[in-house]
Structures are given as structure tokens and as C-alpha cells.
A and B are shown apart, each in its own frame.
Chain A
């Protein structure tokens, strides 16, 4: 990459880590290697460094009080829903959601689905957006990004670590809600065979399996949002900007979905597919491949955008 060298070699801002420098430091770490923009993980030292970085990243994320509080608050919601359902009863419940609430009174596992359908549209995305939107911009804002890049990690690898970290948090958010709902459900409501939306009754074990499918699907949906937030995070050095932009996107798309005139747009919007987890409650299990494909498309598009932006960006803080 000699072109980049000559360009940034001349004028040098104090504290600036130019693109070429990151690359050089990454190249030094794994000496016999083709200079590559992608900086793919190396079989030996690279992989170890990658996992070490990811481990430290995960440690930071799951020790950070802010993140733990978000997980705690989300896990509290199923408890509140459970207690309210138990104490008030569901006699006068009516309509789609009401029936689901009524089903909860009859079976413990249904609380998981109630909790997820209440949290998936907004609260869980907010938690994911905070962590993923903070990932790059937050480091830039506190001035730690250039130290991360000075370490022999390579930008592509740092981005991969940041994304995997956000994905891990997405799974944690979903699991926190599901596990909390499961525990509360088992404590408060009868345990036994589960009635699906199709009117079929399946065993408790089958019900647990369906919860597992749901957790996987919702996590994938949140991971897609994390990719969007990560891409926005590479655009700014103010983490609140990236987080706010992600939230605005979520809210705008949710509002757009409310207009029947814009029905044609709905399949392309991310939040439309989040609620597709109700396929796990049908018999036979509903087709969730459309939603998963949409998530994959979002992840591919926004991760590559984030990479293109981040690997070409001069880091000044």
C-alpha cells in the first residue's frame, strides 16, 4: 500500500492514526503475510490475538454497570407481566393479544412469548442499539480507539470483535428475557402441555424446544439491528449520536409500518421481521426463512458498509 504511505507521510497531525499506520502495525505482528486490506485472521498468532481481544471485549461489556442494568430491567419486565396476569386475571381479555394473555394463565411457557412480543418491538432493540452503537464511536469518543488500533490487531479484526461482542449482547438480551419469563411462568402458572396458536397441543418439552427456536430467531433479528448500529457507529465519534440515530431508525420504521398505504414497503423493513417468531407457535412450524434471509441481508449490507468506512477512516482520537 505504497500510495497510502506517501499520502499520509507528509503531514502528520499529533495523535492521528492514519489508515496506513494501522495496517503497518498489523502487518508487523504477522510478518510473513501479504499486505491485505481485509487483514484476515491468521491461523496461529492472529487467532489467539483475536480471541484474546474478543474475550476482553466481552468482559468489558458484561461487567459494565450500564449494560447489566439494561439486562436487569429487561429481565424484570416478564416478572411484572407475570405478577399482573396472576393477580388481575384475564377474564375480560379480548382480541389477539388478549387471547395470548389468556393462554398464559393456562400455561407457564406462554409467558415467554407474551414477554417477547411486548419487548421485541422497542425495548430490546434499544438495549442492543446502545451497546452496538457505542462500540466504535464510544472508543473514538473516549480516545481509546487509537490505542486499540496501535495494538497489532488490524481494523477488520477489531470490527469483527466489536460486532461479535454486540451479537453476544443481543443473544444475552433475548436469553435474559426468555429465561426470566420461563422462571416466572413456571413459578406462577401451571406447568404442562402447551396449546399452540393452531389449536394443537404439544408436550412441555416440545414447548421448550419452540422457545429455543424463538430465542434463536429473535437473537438473529437483534444481531441484524446490531449490524446497522455498528455501521452508524463507524460514522461518528460521538457514541450518543450513533445510538440516537439507530433509535430514530427503529422508531421511524415502526411508524412507517403502521400506515396501511405503505404495506408494500413493510417486507423490506427490519422490524417487520422481528415479530416473525410467532411461527414457532404454529403447527407445523411456520416458515421463518423469509425473516432469517432478511436478517442475513441486513447483516451483510451493513457490516460491509461498516468495514468499508472503518478501514478507510483516519482515526484522530
Chain B
């Protein structure tokens, strides 16, 4: 049963990954990438890595890809010029492809990832919590690398905001503090005037 599930999700994953690069419509490509993330999360679940699987869905599918989809939808890409000169660039593309395949075969070959090289991890009992173990490890043994990584991310956030923040003169802004502090005397002026009489 588990094997059947594995092969099913693997087939879907390979199909989705293929469609990401062959789909003509960029929005379709992004949605296939979402499907690819989703199926790899399912494969991770089969490996009992439930924390990583759910975080993959939460972070990549739930946040990163939504923004990605956003950008791709907003861009009105004209696809025709992108497809021009296919024959001219083909040799370069094939060369790069061959290099990548060669590297992948060398690294992900049976020498390092074969059935003999990797021992099958032991099955854990039902009450074993992947999340708890990972959290304990992350906050005790690897606490400094973890903190350094978060500081680097914080720096990236600050840098991104500093690069894009600009103050334009003349734009109207709502100041909530002032609105709340406003009172009647500031806004309303009662005017006393004599009653007018219509002319006969």
C-alpha cells in the first residue's frame, strides 16, 4: 500500500515538474509548481517527516507561491518574443543540459544514494513527535546557527524595506492617533445667526 502511494505521488510530482517547464502559460506553470510542492510534501509525510512536510506547504505553498502567482498574474507577458531564436540557442541549451545531467549523475548516483549506501531509518512509534524532537534539537544543540540564520533574515527584511521605502511629498496619510484624539471642539463650530425671512 505504501509503495503504491509512493509511486502515485512520485508520478504526479514528475508530471508536475515537467509541466512547470513546458507549460505555455506562465500562470499554469506556477500552479504546476504549487502541485509539485504539494506532492513532495506528501512524499515527506511518507518518510515520517511531518513537520517538514507541513512547513513546506505552509511556507512555500501558502505564502511564497501566492506572492509568486501574484507577480506572474500582474505581469502581462508577451510570450512570442520569448520563443524566438529557439534553433539559435539550442546548442548552448543542450550543452548546459548535458553538464547538469552529468553533475547530477555524479552526485546523486548509486555510489552515494544506492540501497547499500543508505540505511533504512527505523520506524517510530505512533506517539513520537517529529515536531518536538526537531524543536528541542534546534533550540539546544543548534541554537547559535539558528539565531544567526534568523538575524540574517531580519537584515534582509530591513534592507528590502530600506531600499523600497521612499517618502513622496504631497501624499495624504491617515493619522489614526490624531483622529482618535479629535474632540468636538476641534471639528464642530456652532454659528448663531438670525432667522431669515422669505420675502413676500
A binds B: no
Instruction: Report which A residues bind B (CB closer than 8 A).
Output: none
Instruction: Report which B residues bind A (CB closer than 8 A).
Output: none
